[in-house]
Structure 1
């Protein structure tokens, strides 16, 4: 098998991409550490796949530089960039066996047959395909096909793995299994990995760091814990979390947030006419209405299993509370919602920026 590449950094330096008048990436700066598992997270059209394709050489940047290791690869052909890409669609050769699909990158390099056979068996064993080497893609399940694609990427021992939504075609149970396999494999191999997804669970469970994009602009780059607990703006706060962060509209007056006739102790001070208070469902509690300032009526309850989601309608806003599975309450009941002050976030309603 080709010798493993040393861990290398990756750098996007003021990368811009336009398709005609349409801006897809704007002043995109990103440094990926050697051996890091970095996830590019965003909705459709956010620019994440375009960034990956620019790094692979499948797209050309309108402006800026791309650096892999010490090499500026901005104008280098894809085959000379030493990257391996795994696609959502698997991209397997239907007329080749599993072994032939996995070994194809080495066949192109004209690696000796004995060495290639050994490398194929090794790569296949890493993704638990050792007993399926003689099968064809049509004889495999979706998860098995994806593992063939991963093995084909592994066998090259590239400087960088690039993965574009590789698990999105799998069912929920298999996605969970493959997430664990991917994380284990990447840590074992130590290869710098950039992974594109719109699935926040994949991002939170796989990444060393997450880069969140919206309309071609990097919104925040941080660890999953920092993204969740210290969002930079309203977009990030609502994009991460399931259910998403609750928001309540109102105004900031000194040390109080005023909304729906209630005065709520704010973690920050100031005077903002139109502000938004954010709080995650697990940081709320349903209580007796006479005990708190914030009151509303139960809109719906949903028993999830180990907990119940209670949605409370307060004026024009709805708050979802993660409550005990044994909570009692009926639609239309008046209740209070207690908020943990130390876990409240305040945002400027106009800009969406966090008020700290």
Structure 2
């Protein structure tokens, strides 16, 4: 597959070098993929996006977009010349102009190109409306249409699903993925939300303290985390012994197992029960669908072959 973005040894520090927000980062994005950088607040993910866009200047390293170097020791291409587009958290739509004018803002696109993008983003018939007359999904499509009308090499998405209630978020997330995939756009998505990352991404990079800790598909990084931080960041883990951990859903309650324990607590989460089991002086978390388990009940546990070693 063709590499659209290549990042080599990218480094950025703030506060006179005291805080490293990008520590010799190396990544590549393939044509047509949705690549997510997933991390907590302060992990460096937004600075990473802004360096690709040209809004932050790295201290060192190299950025290439479609085989063209846009940043290196002697090169620093202006943001408007990098062939990138950004969709921000709040969509940044101009309230006093209609949909068509919002999409064309800052663009030299033709009328035919506008009609084409309206069709592709399912906005045809809404071009004369103003932002306040649109639904949340329609506003997102306007922001996306404005970003892609000039056919950027890469679309940068800066947490566009943040601060949205759960029901609307699920709808917008599905629409966003459908549009990006139907248009065959290469996209870099920045988020702190694991569910968004898993839903949208072809590949995910976990970022922490300015470092990329792991890159892979959602299945790869969840089932085979690079370290204990990645394991805990992506979901709950329970400790078996000094160096062994397991996810609660991978512990089985069965009569023939050797490990014994006593149920100390049961929490109902709708689709499953989370059970705290005291075993060998350790509290183990177990996920179960059994409605008949009781606090104080003695049970036996089997760990299977999905034990994580760190």
- TM > 0.5: yes
Query: 5+ residue gaps in structure 1?
Result: 1-6, 252-274, 348-356
CA apart distance, 1:338:
2.2
* Match 1:178 to one of 169, 172, 190: 172
RMSD: 2.1
* Match 2:301 to one of 337, 344, 347: 337
TM-score scaled by length of structure 2:
0.90
Distance (whole Å) between structure 2 residues aligned to residue 131 and residue 51 of structure 1: 37
* Match 2:58 to one of 56, 61, 69: 61
CA apart distance, 1:214:
0.7
1:300 counterpart = 2:300: no
CA apart distance, 1:134:
1.9
1:311 counterpart = 2:276: yes
Indicate conservation of the 8 Å contact 1:8/1:35, yes or no.
no
Indicate conservation of the 8 Å contact 1:298/1:329, yes or no.
no
CA apart distance, 1:67:
1.0
Indicate conservation of the 8 Å contact 1:212/1:219, yes or no.
yes
Which residue pairs with 1:164 in the alignment?
158
The 3 A distance-change label for structure 1 pair 333 and 139 is: same
CA apart distance, 1:225:
1.5
* Match 1:145 to one of 139, 162, 165: 139
Which residue pairs with 1:284 in the alignment?
251
Indicate conservation of the 8 Å contact 1:296/1:315, yes or no.
no
1:100 counterpart = 2:101: yes
The 3 A distance-change label for structure 1 pair 318 and 136 is: farther
3-state DSSP class of the match of 2:253? Answer: strand
Indicate conservation of the 8 Å contact 1:143/1:170, yes or no.
no
1:30 counterpart = 2:22: no
CA apart distance, 1:8:
5.5
* Match 2:206 to one of 206, 212, 215: 212
CA apart distance, 1:294:
4.1
Distance (whole Å) between structure 1 residues aligned to residue 206 and residue 221 of structure 2: 9
1:40 counterpart = 2:34: no
- Flag the structure with larger Rg: 1
Which residue pairs with 1:91 in the alignment?
92
Which residue pairs with 1:198 in the alignment?
192
1:15 counterpart = 2:7: no
Query: 5+ residue gaps in structure 2?
Result: none
CA apart distance, 1:33:
1.8
Distance (whole Å) between structure 2 residues aligned to residue 22 and residue 11 of structure 1: 24
The 3 A distance-change label for structure 1 pair 127 and 317 is: farther
Indicate conservation of the 8 Å contact 1:8/1:159, yes or no.
no
Number of residues paired by the alignment?
A: 303
Distance (whole Å) between structure 2 residues aligned to residue 42 and residue 303 of structure 1: 25
* Match 1:71 to one of 52, 68, 71: 68
**Cα displacement string for residues 227-256 of structure 1 (whole angstroms, at most 9, x for unaligned residues):** 112111111111123xx23234x33xxxxx
Which residue pairs with 2:148 in the alignment?
154
* Match 1:322 to one of 263, 267, 287: 287
Equivalences for 1:220-231 in 2 at 5 Å?
220-231=214-225
